Structure 1
Amino acid sequence: MQKLRFGLIGFGHFGRHYARLLQNMPGVELVTIANTSVEMFAVNGKDLPDHIKKTTNTQEIFNDATIDCVVIAAPPSTHKDLIAAAIEAGKHVLVEKPMVTSMVEAKAVEKVMKKKKNKVFMVGFQYIYNDHVRYLKEHLGDLGEVKYVLGEHLYCGPFRSDIGSFMDAGIHDCAILEYLFSPGKITKVIGASSSLKKSKKDDFTAVTVTFQSGLAAHILTSWYWPEKVRKVTLVGDKGMALFNDRDETKLKWIKNSYPEWDRKKSSMFLHGMIEQPAVVPVSAQEPLLNELKHFIECVNTDSKPLTNIEFGSKVTRMMEEISGRLSKL
């Protein structure tokens, strides 16, 4: 099979990881990297081999007929136009999250995609390709009926000039919710966001979202926080699970069912594994590697990606509705 030739747009915080992985994957060749700022090549491109072309003109990637696939890891505000240009140029597209910044933009992408139905389009929601999150999906029934979820994504930078912390980090939780539960219509949103400098971009958001399915999701995000926290907690009537991406033991599982109340007692305790949660051994690869492998497989087999345009639009709609109903502190 002929190698797939890749162009990469964006060589910053995340783009450099795509470049690192694409150089070492079988069946692909990274041909060109485009970044509007030449400084990033000096910062992140010291080890790039000479045969990879470096340019500040993204049009060079679109004009190169030998390039099959384009990875977009540029600022979110540029995604819509870059996606459209890549699709119109006949490229398969993998775009880093968020797919776009609004449903208006999502509709525009959908319109472009209808013209090029033979091209693969995928959104890079890396947590959907995390092997521990996949394990949660496969064993979700063991928790019984999941009543509430807590997503915590807190960190100290980087800060974005075009989106706030909720769009940057909360989108992970919304993608996980859609992947695990397909929770449907939002019925209630209670929460607020705040900015230290009173700008339009939030530095901190705390929100509770209730869905028609009965699921309640509590989401906490900040990009100005003293420690890095990446946790998702699931609580069901037959057990609980904790995914902690920052812990060496990434997945813990508590199988105690919620107790039946004895009216004669003033308090009740869970017994068994509550004090020592069961550690779940999961054979895991780097999520971004899994993501790229899935994209490449979809291109080679003409298959629909797990996180396709429909999935991306659902997450965009969820994010937009929640954001629009937040109070501002």
Structure 2
Amino acid sequence: MRRPVERETIRVGVIGAGFGASVHVPALRRVPGVTVAAICGAHAGRIRDVAAELEIPASFSDYRELFESGAIDAVTIATPPHLHHPVALAACEAGLHVLCEKPMARSVAEARDMLRMAREAGVCHAVAHQMRHDPARHRLKELLDDGFIGRLHSVSVMVYRSALADPTRRTSGWLTDAASAGGVLSAIGSHYIDALRWWFGDIHWVAGAVSTAIPERAISGREGLLPVDADDNTAFVVRFSNGALGSVHISYTSAVDIGEEIIATGSDGVLIIQDNGRLFGARRGERIQNLLPAYVPGSGDRSGPARHIRAFSILVGEWILAMRTGAEASPSFDDGAKVQEVLDAVSRSQQLSRWIDLSGNKWPV
């Protein structure tokens, strides 16, 4: 076990003026015994304005200066994904506890390097798969652990969103750049892969593909429609360690925003999550019924930033508790690296036109 953090108030720095400012900061402020001591962004003028607006005492435009300042004990990283690896390594070298946004890295090699460094530095590490704390997903986990569906036979994830359907709607540059870990597979698929692993265990085989349905888009800060190479659609199949199958189909160019549906069926029952956090299910021989109470605290936060802030605050609370007790946080960098293995495997499967073995039975992964 690590040495527990004994400081009465843990000082956290946030790196990122976008999602970091809009979600990380308010979520951190919901957690007792935590103060947001600093915020860091690429543009000095803008980050000073953000700090003033959010009443954060210090601002930095260079994360290395923040880490050397002695102003923080821990850091959350909400930069574009291609910066996660260097920022996380620098934080570990500075002895700071780290919570990194998803996708954890651009490749499994980077993710494993981050995990190795965090372990060697003895810091508390976590990945921001906060959707584990969405009420419906959390309740589904409880029901699975109670044996509601018995032995898993099959699970499917279907997501149809219209967020990227309009090519003239300006999009963040990294999201459309494959080299920056942009694309629907990494940005959205990573959450579903983490959920599937959390619910059903390790994934041993993967086959899939990605596509770019809209090859030109308006990019924030640039003029006209520009070529993009990151995927906006993906579909893949997984086989879990117990032999059960799972399928994931994500489209962010749907003409109509239909939402998500997750169906898990097993030897004894079925569980269904539908859009806006609704959960249904039935045991063998029973009728489908609503499995969430009429009122779940926080369940009204079912969309937009409020949904993420609520879930992220619970995740941060567990990360802080792990710091104070010396325990391991969850989801950890180890979980993030396992998710990255699956992300990389989808791309390799498309390149090689075959299943990718992640079991480690034939060769280390």
Q: Using a 3 Å threshold, how does the CA distance of structure 1 residues 65 and 212 change in structure 2: closer, same or farther?
A: same
Alignment partner, residue 252 of structure 1: 280
2:27 aligned with 1:21, yes or no? yes
Q: Give the whole-Å Cα distance in 2 for the aligned partners of 1:33 and 1:228.
A: 36
Cα drift, residue 15 of structure 1: 4.1
Cα drift, residue 231 of structure 1: 3.4
Structure 2 unaligned blocks of 5 or more: 1-6, 165-170, 216-226, 299-309, 353-365
Within the candidate set 203, 220, 223, 2:252 is matched to 223
2:151 aligned with 1:145, yes or no? yes
Of structures 1 and 2, the one scoring higher in RCO (CA 8 A, sep 6+) is 2
Aligned partner of residue 79 in structure 2, secondary structure: coil
Q: Give the whole-Å Cα distance in 2 for the aligned partners of 1:315 and 1:6.
A: 26
Alignment partner, residue 193 of structure 1: 211
Aligned partner of residue 148 in structure 2, secondary structure: helix
Q: Give the whole-Å Cα distance in 2 for the aligned partners of 1:199 and 1:52.
A: 38
Cα drift, residue 98 of structure 1: 1.1
The answer (yes or no) to whether the contact 1:190–1:207 under 8 Å persists in 2 is: yes
Within the candidate set 77, 84, 96, 1:91 is matched to 96
Whichever residue aligns with residue 194 of structure 2, its letter is: A
Structure 1 unaligned blocks of 5 or more: 258-271
For residues 232-311 of structure 1, what are the structure 2 equivalents within 5 Å?
Answer: 232-247=262-277, 250-257=278-285, 273-274=287-288, 277-281=289-293, 283-285=296-298, 286-311=310-335
The answer (yes or no) to whether the contact 1:130–1:284 under 8 Å persists in 2 is: no
Percent identity, aligned pairs only, is 23
Over residues 97-152 of structure 1, what are the superposed CA-to-partner deviations in whole Å (9 max), with x where a residue is unaligned?
A: 111121110222133124212x1011111122334322222211111222221223
Alignment partner, residue 63 of structure 2: 58
Aligned partner of residue 231 in structure 2, secondary structure: coil
Alignment partner, residue 42 of structure 2: 36
Instruction: Identify the range of structure 1 (297-306 vs 189-198) with the bigger mean alpha-carbon deviation.
Output: 189-198
Aligned partner of residue 67 in structure 2, secondary structure: helix
The answer (yes or no) to whether the contact 1:191–1:208 under 8 Å persists in 2 is: no
Q: TM-score, normalised by structure 1?
A: 0.84
Within the candidate set 169, 179, 189, 2:198 is matched to 179
Whichever residue aligns with residue 175 of structure 1, its letter is: D
Alignment partner, residue 168 of structure 1: 187
Aligned partner of residue 224 in structure 1, secondary structure: coil
Whichever residue aligns with residue 137 of structure 2, its letter is: V
Q: TM-score, normalised by structure 2?
A: 0.76
Alignment partner, residue 307 of structure 2: none
Q: Using a 3 Å threshold, how does the CA distance of structure 1 residues 44 and 327 change in structure 2: closer, same or farther?
A: farther
Cα drift, residue 284 of structure 1: 4.6
Within the candidate set 90, 105, 108, 1:103 is matched to 108
Aligned length: 307
Aligned partner of residue 291 in structure 1, secondary structure: helix
